[in-house]
Structure 1
Amino acid sequence: MSGRLDGKVSIITGAGSGIGAATARRFHAEGAKVVLADISGAQEALAKELGDGALAVHADVSKGESVQAMVQSAVETFGGLHVLYNNAGIDGEIAAVADMSEEGWDQVQAINLRGVFLGIKYAVPAMIASGGGSIINTASMAATVAFPQMASYCAAKGGVVMLTKTAAAEYAAQKIRVNSISPGTIQTAITEHLPQDMITAIIARNPVGRIADAGEVASLALFLASDESAFITGSDYLIDGGYTLL
């Protein structure tokens, strides 16, 4: 099957690397116009790689004016908005709750949770004007099970799941679907910054016995972006190799 996103305009945040870049490539290959939003600058090279139908924008997802400009760029350049993948995120400070700085806590909440809120807030009017759409939010298996020394990350991702469900209930009548993806350990820049003993322990506990490739998450995002998932909203999809089963 090909052309699964023909005629759709999409925004992907955190598109410069990891899951975001893998998803951008998949969406573009399936016919979507893609707005590649990132703060790193890496989105520029990816836009050049993809060519026609790809637009790189600088976006700080924690800032309302930046997210609003991101959505406006999609509408002005490609004529509407049908898919938003709120994917940008950071792991943040690794520390026990009592040892975590207030600044470290706030930074993770601003990017991982506030960023999703702002994406939904500013995308919804554009999607309504376009006849509806699909919003996909990156949560985490850390919304389901605890990871010591990652309290801010776990809290933010738990918030993403409930924000997803609430927005899904609010906008279903406007033909906007909202779902979340909860990846397990994926080979991305975030996992490269985690302590190796943590990664080793996660793999040892995982029934599948490995961590995932970003492309595996992109495949799920493609399904949720496409009309194949037209009757699915308010759901959170674990893609964790069975880690949370045990």
Structure 2
Amino acid sequence: MKRHDRSPRVLAAAAVGLSGLAAAAFLGSQAFQRHPATAAPPAPPATGASASDVAEPATPPALPASVPLRLDVSRIGVRTPLMTLAKNPDQTVETPPPSRAQEAGWYRLGPAPGSRGAAVIIGHVDTADGPAVFHRLGELRPGDRVGVLRADGRTALFRIDSVERFDKDLFPTRRVYGDPGHAAIRLITCGGRFDRGSGHYTDNVIAFGHLVGSAGKGTR
């Protein structure tokens, strides 16, 4: 839908029904008109940045479930508390409210960061007033590190494998929400071209990563 001029823009993400990946995926598209002073960050190519030439460390055992409290991504200057997100009445995945666009949110109906499965964290790319928490997400590259502080005192440490851009109509639901067989993380925001006519971004930018270890209390 179109926005009023001062409404913040929000990203679109796919939702998977609680019955599993066989359920239909729904797209929420609420990306709005850009603030003219805000430049969109360069988006990675649709094919993503390959990590095939980077030595792959052994994947450590998954951690027990624990609520995530904070996300740290030093490469792009992100240090944000994590709110919890679920689903909207139309079964799309919630996004952080516009008033908290500088914070990211964890999709609590999926795995916790560090536990087996793909932990999904969502953040806005920008608002009518300027850059938001994931404005620089597209700058991540294979090998960059991500830390998630959890309620159990551990920090789950992830390595980025690829950063890719997808047309919102071709959102990779299974790849984002499916169980990869180990502890993984997905960071999601809007990207690509902003269509002023429709009031939407055309794409999603997704960073894919996997657990490489943990630090802090009870480190394994």
Same fold (TM over 0.5): no
The two structures have a TM-score, normalised by structure 2, of: 0.29
* Larger RCO, structures 1/2 (Cα 8 Å, 6+ apart): 2
TM (norm. structure 1) is 0.27
Structure with a larger share of its residues in helix: 1
Structure having the larger proportion of residues in strand:
2
